[in-house]
């Protein structure tokens, strides 16, 4: 699979999880497991994205 497609996929996953994290934090009664899940997905996808790009 071309590396650029995998990079785009990880970038989309990162953007989606950050957007969900922001929405989760704006709710007055937070479901903390959901907040933690979206934060974890953002961290893992960013790590994979940076590992592929070799910065």
Model confidence at 54, pLDDT cuts 50, 70, 90, reads low
Q: pTM for the whole thing?
A: 0.81
- Alpha-carbon distance of 29 to 36, in angstroms, equals 14
Can you give the pLDDT at residue 13?
Answer: 94
């Amino acid at each position: 699979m071309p590396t650029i497609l995998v990079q785009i996929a990880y970038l989309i996953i990162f953007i989606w999880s950050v957007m969900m994290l922001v929405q989760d934090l704006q709710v007055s009664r937070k479901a903390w497991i959901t907040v933690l899940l979206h934060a974890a997905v953002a961290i893992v996808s960013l790590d994979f994205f940076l590992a592929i790009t070799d910065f």
